[in-house]
Every structure is written in structure tokens, then in C-alpha cells.
């Protein structure tokens, strides 16, 4: 899923990206520091959800929401602001925003509002129940040895049928998604602990060998795990 973050404070954008990527590593995150750039991005990319600061250079975040909806009428928005005055909350309610999160952002509060969006938009953006169960299993147990056949058996489903359904709804097959998810989790771990060994990271995210991990990482990220990790040392 694509998500748009709009905030003129670089550190705030970095924190939001980190929090969201940790919880939803498969999401494509786009960032903008002002309304003009946000609108430019929105003309090229469709967003189910945008997180927008009220105080922006030029137009306010509330004005930006109105303009974004002219481009993408179905976009959902979450207000993020250091301002707690009732007038802002009142106007946000009138704009029918999904939620209102006050800075400094608290992780639990942020994800509570995001989950509210995911629940409300499930009929539009969600997956079928069985595919969502598969995704949940990957997200919870990616460190373990997972196979489509085992999961299909546990869900009392035919493996070839489940494989086809997963690929149709997710856009890639089960194995590729699992590898990509593990790599995203490895990237999070490298950023959190850049001094951890490649072998330890490989084991921690479920790869059976460091060689397989390194080859898969280079294929997806166009660089080696070691070079990627060095960015954060």
C-alpha cells in the first residue's frame, strides 16, 4: 500500500517513516515537506492514506487535505500536529479525517489510528480472509520455517488454489513475499543495531543460510547487506 507523509520537520518525517516501516515494512512510503510537493506526488501516485501535519509552509495541512481530495476523492487522512486547540480538532472533524494524533507522536496512539483506518477501509483495500490469515502468519512467524503447503494444510485449503489466490491479491507469489518481508525486517534490525553480524541478522529473520540471505538481499536492494549496514555505523 502507498502512504503519504507530509511534515516540514525532517526529524518528524524520519520518526514516522521508521515507526511505520517497522510495523508495515511492505508499505511504500512517500514523503513531502510542504503542500506543493505533496500535491505534485499525489498527481502521480494513488494514496489510500496520508498523514499530514497541520502547520506547513504556505497552505495549512487542513487546506492541503481539501486540495488532495480534489485530486483523490477517496483518500483518507490522519492529522498529526503539536497543536491541541479545539478549533483544529473541530475543523478536522468537519473534514471527516480518520484520526488526530498529537506530537510528540506516541507509537501506540499512532498505530491505533492507523488500525482504525485499516478496519474502516477493509472492504476497499483489504484482502480476502484467507489471504489476510496468510499475511498475518508471515508477519508473526517470519523467523520460523514457513511453507505454503504447511499453511494451506493448517487453513484446510488446497495449496495450488491458495497459491493462486495469494498471488492474485498480493501481486507476488508466497515465496517472493516471504523473502521480501524478511529482508525488510533485516533492514530494520540493521538500522537498530548496525554492529550485529550478518550471520546473526540472517538467522534472526528466518533465512536458512547467510549465503542465501546475502544473495537475496543484493537482488532486492542492489547492494550487499554489509554495505547497507555500514550506512548506520
pLDDT in tens, 160-190: 999 999 988 888 899 999 999 899 889 888 8
Regarding whether 120 and 96 lie in a shared domain, the answer is yes
Residue numbers of the domain that contains 56: 2-125
Q: Which of 74, 94, 125 is the last residue of a domain?
A: 125
Regarding whether 133 and 121 lie in a shared domain, the answer is no
What CATH number should be reported for the domain holding residue 77? 3.40.50.2300
What CATH number should be reported for the domain holding residue 135? 1.10.10.60
- The count of domains in the chain is 2
Given a cut of 90, whether residue 36 has pLDDT beyond it is: yes
pTM here is 0.62
Regarding whether 118 and 164 lie in a shared domain, the answer is no
Given a cut of 90, whether residue 127 has pLDDT beyond it is: no
Strand order in the sheet with 99-102: 28-32, 2-6, 49-53, 76-81, 99-102
Amino acid at each position: 500500500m502507498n502512504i503519504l507523509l507530509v511534515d516540514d520537520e525532517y526529524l518528524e518525517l524520519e520518526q514516522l517513516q521508521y515507526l511505520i516501516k517497522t510495523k508495515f515494512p511492505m508499505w511504500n512510503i512517500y514523503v513531502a515537506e510542504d503542500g506543493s510537493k505533496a500535491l505534485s506526488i499525489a498527481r502521480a501516485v494513488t494514496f489510500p492514506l496520508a498523514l499530514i501535519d497541520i502547520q506547513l509552509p504556505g497552505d495549512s495541512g487542513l487546506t492541503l487535505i481539501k486540495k488532495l481530495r480534489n485530486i483523490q476523492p477517496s483518500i483518507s487522512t490522519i492529522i498529526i500536529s503539536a497543536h491541541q486547540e479545539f478549533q483544529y480538532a473541530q475543523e478536522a472533524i468537519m473534514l471527516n479525517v480518520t484520526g488526530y494524533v498529537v506530537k510528540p507522536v506516541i507509537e501506540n496512539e499512532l498505530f491505533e489510528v492507523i488500525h482504525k483506518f485499516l478496519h474502516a477501509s477493509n472492504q476497499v483495500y483489504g484482502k480476502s480472509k484467507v489471504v489476510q490469515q496468510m499475511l498475518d502468519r508471515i508477519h508473526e512467524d517470519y523467523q520460523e520455517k514457513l511453507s505454503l503447503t504447511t499453511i494451506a494444510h493448517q487453513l484446510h485449503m488446497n495449496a495450488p488454489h491458495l497459491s493462486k489466490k495469494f498471488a492474485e491479491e498480493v501481486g507476488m507469489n508466497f515465496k517472493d513475499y516471504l523473502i521480501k518481508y524478511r529482508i525488510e525486517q533485516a533492514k530494520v534490525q540493521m538500522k537498530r543495531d548496525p554492529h550485529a553480524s550478518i550471520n546473526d541478522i540472517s538467522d534472526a529473520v528466518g533465512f536458512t543460510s547467510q549465503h542465501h540471505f546475502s544473495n537475496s538481499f543484493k537482488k532486492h536492494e542492489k547492494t550487499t547487506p554489509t554495505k547497507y549496514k555500514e550506512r548506520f555505523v
